[in-house]
Amino acid sequence: MDVMTALMRGRWFAGLDPKLAEALVAAGRVRALDEGQWIYSEGDEEPGLCLVIDGVLRLEASAGSERGVLIGLVGAGQAIGQSRRFGGGRRIVTARAQRASHVLLVPDIALPGIADRAPGAWAAVIALLYDQLDAAVHAAALNLCLTPRQRVAARLAQLADAEGVVAATQADVAEMCGLSRKSASGHILALAANDWVVPLYRSLLVVDPAALRAFAGI
């Protein structure tokens, strides 16, 4: 498995200084995950970085003491995580495998040593934190201002990988859009009638992402 090549598909990792990218891969541990397997849970003490080599992760957050909600998916090449260096504390979300996956885990304790060898490390971590905050804020804004069908269209356009595949069930899409399963399915069928998406078994295929974005106004 060529970890470096796989991670270069992601915008954040591809933008790193080569020396920093090599240091992260050298300090990290590759972990194979079965579908549904946990990586870490919300509230866990030890932060750090998680980079998806292949597969898809699901991010979940608690909504009250006994309820969790799916808030997003993280695909191949993407990175998530935090560091105590900038006031970060316990894990904010639960991350587990949506499909069989491989991830590179870089513990927070390794980051100071990496920064000593690659001075741009902390700036890169700050950029990653900003990217995650930006995604969360804009997702919240879209859920507040768009109609239900526009929310579904926007989510599908955002989640589609390079081949147009959205590794989510219709129930997952419903949860991320704050809709019932029945309502989300109806909106997906309406989008499919326009030849913008194709419902598949446990996934969806985005045929025309530009049309979805135009419809959602994003």
Give yes or no for residue 213 having a pLDDT over 70. Answer: yes
Give the strands of the sheet with 197-200, arranged side by side. Answer: 165-166, 203-206, 197-200
CATH number attached to the domain at 3-142: 2.60.120.10
- As assigned by CATH, the class of the 147-216 domain is mainly alpha
Residue with the larger pLDDT of the pair 7 and 119: 7
In angstroms, how far is the first alpha carbon of the chain from the final one?
A: 36
Kindly tell me if the per-residue pLDDT of 184 is higher than 80. Answer: yes
- The yes-or-no verdict on residue 174 having pLDDT over 80 is yes
Secondary structure letter of residue 88 according to DSSP: -
203 three-class SS? strand
pLDDT at res. 66? 77
Q: How far apart are CA 46 and CA 27, in angstroms?
A: 16
Residue type present at position 84: R
Whole-number pLDDT of residue 87: 66
Calculate mean pLDDT across residues 150-174: 93
User: 63 pLDDT exceeds 90?
Assistant: no
Q: Which residue has the higher pLDDT, 23 or 64?
A: 23
Domain spans, the chain: 3-142, 147-216
Q: How many CA atoms lie within 13 A of 218 on its CB side?
A: 22
Residue 103 clears pLDDT 90, i.e. is over it: yes
Rounded percentage of the chain residues whose pLDDT exceeds 70: 98
Cβ pair 205, 198 in contact under 8 A: yes
Would you say residue 88 has pLDDT above 70?
no
- pLDDT at residue 89 is higher than 80: no
Tokens describing residue 54: 């292949």
Outline where DSSP puts E strands in 36-138: 38-40, 48-54, 57-62, 68-74, 79-82, 94-97, 101-107
* Cα→Cα distances 151→103, 183, 192, 193, Å: 29, 12, 15, 17
Reply yes or no on whether the pLDDT at 44 is more than 80.
no
> Mean pLDDT for the chain?
91
pLDDT band, very low/low/confident/very high, at 119 (cuts 50, 70, 90): confident
How does residue 84 score in pLDDT terms, banded at 50, 70 and 90? confident
> 38-40 and 94-97: which strand pairing?
antiparallel
Q: Is the pLDDT of residue 186 over 90?
A: yes
d(CA 213, CA 210): 5
Give just the sign of the alpha carbon dihedral 60, 41, 34, 162: positive
Q: Which two structure tokens, joined as six digits, stand for 20?
A: 């920093």
What is the Cα gyration radius of the chain?
18
In this prediction the pTM is 0.88
